[in-house]
Every structure is written in structure tokens, then in C-alpha cells.
Amino acid sequence: TDANTPELSLVKTIVKLGHSLGLEIVAEGVETEEQCRHLIRLNCHLGQGFLFARPMPAPKIEALLAGQGNQPGSQQPAIPRQAIAGD
């Protein structure tokens, strides 16, 4: 994705506005690692979307949050180390 798209400009503006108001920003609909890297560069470190997990029933979410979702075969977020470091 081009870094100078109108969509990215809008995201930058919203994140800056939220930070200036002292709000914690949560990005919704994060689907790709590239989107995740852009958000981290913008100092937006919270998000939800298909990149992290597909919709699931409440008991499965509860197990995941309780740390029981790390068994082999469970779907885990695929965020590259560079994205986490903000590279």
C-alpha cells in the first residue's frame, strides 16, 4: 500500500487527534501485517481484526484469554518481529 494514500492520511489524523485528547487508540479491522506495521509507526499499539483472530464463540475466547489457546494447532497472531519493534 502506498504510504501517501488518502486513507493513511485519515488514519494518521485520527490517531494524532486521539493522542492529543489523551485517549488510548484501538485500531479496528486490522487484516494485514503491513497495516499493523503502519499503525505501530503511528504509535497505535492496540488493534483487533482478522490478523489477530477470526470470530469465535465466547467459550473459545475465554480459553484464549485464560492462556489456554496456545496449544498446537490453535490460530495465533502472525505479527513479524519487525512490526513489534516498529521497524
Catalytic residue at 28? Answer: yes
| 21 alpha-carbon distance from chain centroid | 21
Q: Which of 56, 53, 54, 43 is nearest to 15 (CA)?
A: 43
**CA distance linking residue 84 with residue 39, whole number of Å:** 10
Find the helix or strand (DSSP H, E) in which 47 lies.
Answer: strand 46-48
Catalytic-role residue among 7, 24, 28, 62: 28
Catalytic machinery residues = 28
